[in-house]
Structure 1
């Protein structure tokens, strides 16, 4: 049996951790002995108990989040020696750096969930972000198999001298299954949006990379033009632009802010259409989750979004990046279209191409080749 150790900063609820959970849920445990090593202390939004319910062994170093070396390296090496894995699979910057530079005797695979030269720069600033992206690339060049979540990220990383395999992020269809009318009505009632005929949703961190204000401005224009239509926009998430977004939405009672939530599924179930206006992504899980639930999407025309809709263009619409007018026009079209075909296309897309069982089998194929 092949022993695989997954190294990740924490098990905080979010896209990369959800992908890891889906992978471990569907990996063949008769072939692979899996365990997790976390670097930092867990916070309130941890999914550690979910992983424990999968009967996965978890070791915790409980280092401070900002720590990279300072005692961490020796603790990491000591713990890994005790586990003695055949393969190390990393997720995230610190895991990639530590494993790439200091664990050379192990076979290593990574899951790169973003394009670091965009994501790190937008998150940490041009100087620090560029340095982090460069270090990440140097570390990943030392891996046996660098894997990324989309063809777009792989293409961009190839221009930086790193060749990556591609395995799309995927969702668990046992959880993200198409709801019936009763569940939709119940969720709308619980979330306070039952009075609206049509619900748009936006889910994500409210930062410049996600361009939430563009979606808000487009919806305001729709709301002003179609006063006879009962429509609303639900924004789920928080971040540095939260106050600015609330100010932009001031005076519009049909723009609702839910803040950060532990489970986004109810909001997607209650939606008629999901909107993502980002200017950079890896392969966004919230988009895949919405499609799995049969919710059509309006997506900014960036590589990962185009890649998702390349599997079935009827599941949504691509619009120009950072364009209020483009999103407004797409909202109008969706509002007046027959959603039955789009809903079926959305759920079929995920079932055939982006479901967790397919993803797990793809990773297993690489593990077998590496072992």
Structure 2
């Protein structure tokens, strides 16, 4: 049985961690897997399959720089002695983690870095910061670079053309049976309203990225035109209180807070509404498709390729874009294709096998 290793920061709640636990569950019986964590903690830790070995590798954070460097040098040497090139494949699944990068590059000659986000937008278009980020994780030392979005892959190649032949696009797996099952659980706090369209936004409340103010302002405008509907926000974050202030007096906006299980709320709503300026690849796209919910999204990630004309509409990244998207749905709704969850996962599993052990034939 082939030996593979994944390194990550923790197994706490988040998009990367959700994708990782789904991946591990799907390949647990096919490979001898080791998981290396910087923090051996998190809500998903108990879900890691029992036959997967978990190792903790945590760099020192000692305040005195020289001592910290000495401790980390010793830790690196010990890790190399134990694990250098002991695996057939290794991957850093937490793009941003320098220690995760070190672990994956050390564990095998067949290493990969997973890229889950649009880091150029994360750095607000600062190309030098973008380049510096990937140089710090030693991108040139990985054999493969795996992007969950074609858009992010193309952006990377624009600035790292010498790494082009290493770049592969592969979506994250989705636990569709779990999503369908959990969507049938009670939606606590959800008030059923007949003949009223319910838009829903699910995600972190962080204005620089999510731009939920666009939804709030678009709702105000549609209310003034006499449209009857409501908007639900499921999630929280650093800008939650500011959003609530912006929405004061708007009776058809409801803040439901963060939910460990958001699927019942998505299942009971009519349409997913996204207003972001940038995303890696929004897992909520696939979750909505699985639950048969049409999507209105700004032009982020691979939305034009995966959503437009199939599962919803793509609008410009502005308040006007969100406003016209909501208005179009309220005026005439839109049909969506049937999503084949099994076919989606099967294609990804085949691609993963190739990433793990074929590599150079991929583009």
Q: TM-score, normalised by structure 2?
A: 0.84
In structure 2, the CA distance between the partners of 1:130 and 1:366, relative to structure 1 (3 Å rule), is: closer
CA contact (8 A) 2:197 2:270 kept: yes
> What is the CA–CA distance in structure 1 between the aligned matches of 2:139 and 2:310, rounded to whole Å?
36
Does structure 1 retain, via aligned residues, the 8 Å contact 2:273–2:295?
yes
1:92-122 Cα distance to aligned partner (Å, 9 max, x none)? 211454247x628632012110122222x25
Provide the C-alpha distance between the structure 2 equivalents of 1:187 and 1:222, rounded to a whole number of angstroms.
Answer: 30
Runs of 5+ unmatched residues, structure 2 = none
Whether the aligned pair in 2 keeps the contact of 1:237 and 1:258 (CA below 8 Å) is yes
Look up the match of 1:21: 21
Residue segments in structure 1 that go unaligned for 5+ positions in a row: none
Q: What is the aligned partner in structure 2 of residue 330 from structure 1?
A: 325
1:110 aligns with 2:110: no
* Per-residue Cα deviation, 1:217-242 (whole angstroms, up to 9, x for no partner): 11222233235x2x221112222322
CA distance in 2, matches of 1:317, 1:66: 50
* 1:174 is aligned to 2:141: no
Q: Distance in 2 between matches of 1:191 and 1:356?
A: 33
Aligned-residue Cα RMSD (Å) equals 3.1
After superposition, residues 130-279 of structure 1 pair within 5 angstroms as 130=130, 133-136=133-136, 139-161=138-160, 162-163=163-164, 164-177=167-180, 183=184, 187=186, 190-195=188-193, 197-207=196-206, 208-227=208-227, 229=228, 231-279=229-277
Q: Deviations over 1:240-269 (max 9, x none)?
A: 322221111111232111222222222211
Pairing 1:316–2:320 present: no
Partner of 1:86: 88
SS in 2 for 1:177: helix
Q: TM-score, normalised by structure 1?
A: 0.82
Does structure 1 residue 98 correspond to structure 2 residue 102? yes
Range 324-333 or range 292-301, more displaced: 324-333
> Which residue is 1:35 aligned to?
34
SS in structure 2 at match of 1:314:
coil
- Shift in Å at residue 127 of structure 1? 10
With a CA cutoff of 8 Å and minimum separation of 6, indicate the structure with the bigger relative contact order.
1
Q: What is the count of residue pairs matched by the alignment?
A: 346
Between the aligned partners of 2:61 and 2:270, the Cα distance in structure 1 is 38
By how many angstroms is 1:132 displaced? 5.3
